[in-house]
């Protein structure tokens, strides 16, 4: 048996933001058990932790695979540690397999701030391919790599309205050799907006994608000439993120709301 928490991340109200499951463990079971739990939860991400001397090992699974980096499930995990598991310090270190050490700080007004690696945006030559897959004209196209074999396309569109009204062709997106596709534009009432699609990883549209903002925030910081930015992910549920780009790191801030607590069975 193990405890399980479901948390809405990057929101200040229930049924907003991005839901994530958090499963604290004492030791690692077989990877197939972790994948089966994530599939059973059928959320965009399930986070698993195991304590180490000065923090926690952290892994993330979609319903179909393990991923290199996940923002909203990290935020949800820190929330669980601070709010339910009595973690006493004001900062937590999470040790990950492919994204190094991630720290999360507890700040005032129930805000949590995560220190993530900034992901460089590299100009892509696949504009025609993405134009056909998305069915819209692109202002620009970039790739951002989270690991040697895991990357997103970042398609810059003309306006917030175009991002909000976009209707994805999921079969075409899932056929692309990438983790997912970010569409983004300058915001009308914030610095930039985005949406994220990863049907090949079992996520048709992710409500709020922290990891994508490790690519988005440095890009828009350069475009707008500022290192502190307000971002919105304009999915159906929606989410709000504060972003600070500093010395090769991207700080993402947000809040979490509890939805569920319980127990699960890990195997026979």
pLDDT tens by residue, 39-74? 999 999 999 999 998 899 999 999 999 998 899 999
122-249 has CATH 3.10.310.10 classification: yes
Q: Which CATH number fits domain 2-116+253-264: 3.40.50.300, 3.10.310.10, 3.40.50.720, 3.90.650.10?
A: 3.10.310.10
Of 45, 128, 150, 158, the catalytic one is 45
Sign (positive or negative) of CA dihedral 250, 253, 256, 262: positive
Task: Look at residue 268 in the predicted model and tell me its pLDDT.
Answer: 63
- The domain limits of the chain are 2-116+253-264, 122-249
What does the pLDDT look like over 235-261, one tens digit per residue?
Answer: 999 999 999 999 999 999 999 999 999
Chain CA centroid to CA 85, Å: 23
| pTM of the complete model | 0.89
Residue 21 CA: distances (Å) to CA of 24, 42, 75, 104: 10, 9, 11, 18
Shared fold status for 2-116+253-264 and 122-249: yes
Is 45 noted as a catalytic residue in this protein?
yes
How would you label 197-231 residue by residue, b for 16+ Cβ within 10 Å and e otherwise?
A: bbbbbbbebbbbbbbbbbbbbbbbbeeeeebebeb
């Amino acid at each position: 048996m193990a405890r399980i928490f479901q948390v809405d991340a990057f929101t200040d109200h229930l049924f907003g933001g991005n839901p994530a499951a958090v499963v604290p463990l004492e030791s690692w079971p077989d990877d197939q058990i972790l994948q089966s739990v994530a599939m059973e939860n059928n959320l965009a991400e399930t986070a698993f932790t195991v304590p180490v001397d000065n923090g926690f090992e952290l892994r993330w699974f979609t319903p179909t695979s393990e991923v290199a980096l996940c923002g909203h499930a990290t935020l949800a995990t820190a929330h669980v540690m601070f709010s339910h598991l009595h973690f006493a310090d004001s900062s937590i270190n999470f040790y990950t397999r492919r994204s190094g050490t991630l720290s999360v700080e507890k700040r005032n007004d129930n805000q949590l701030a995560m220190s993530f690696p900034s992901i460089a945006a590299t100009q892509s030559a696949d504009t025609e391919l993405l134009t056909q897959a998305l069915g819209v004209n692109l202002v620009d196209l970039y790739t951002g790599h989270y690991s040697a074999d895991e990357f997103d396309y970042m398609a810059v569109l003309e306006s917030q309205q175009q991002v909000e009204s976009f209707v994805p062709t999921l079969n075409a997106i899932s056929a692309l050799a990438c983790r997912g596709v970010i569409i983004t534009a300058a915001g009308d009432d914030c610095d930039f907006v985005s949406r994220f699609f990863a049907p090949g990883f079992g996520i048709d549209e992710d409500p709020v994608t922290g990891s994508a903002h490790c690519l988005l925030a440095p890009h828009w910081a350069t475009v707008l000439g500022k290192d502190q930015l307000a971002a919105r992910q304009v999915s159906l549920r929606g989410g709000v993120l504060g972003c600070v780009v500093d010395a090769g790191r991207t700080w993402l801030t947000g809040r979490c709301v509890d939805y569920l607590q319980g127990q699960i069975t890990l195997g026979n």
